[in-house]
Amino acid sequence: MRAYILVKAKPGTTENILKVIKGLKGINIILADSVYGRFDAVVVIEAQDLKALSEMVYKMIGGHPDILHTETLITLF
């Protein structure tokens, strides 16, 4: 199971957020990049099931005060 997490961040904090996310243990991060457009970053993660995916997303997002909003897009492969 793969998820694309679109991240909206406080101005000037995107690179710091990505650095923190890339350093998290126990999360299978495929990609974490800054982007232009409505969102500031895209993070792609993989998990075995929806429960593990939810735990990863909450661990990533819940612990970072500079993340304002996210949208999670889940795909099955």
- Residues of the chain short of pLDDT 50, as ranges, are none
In order of their start, the domains of the chain are 2-75 (3.30.70.920)
**Could you tell me the maximum CA-CA distance found in the chain, to the nearest angstrom?**
34
pLDDT of residue 4: 96
pLDDT of residue 77: 67
Instruction: Please give the DSSP secondary-structure letter assigned to residue 65.
Output: T
User: Mind listing the pLDDT tens digit for each residue in 50-65?
Assistant: 998 888 888 777 778 9
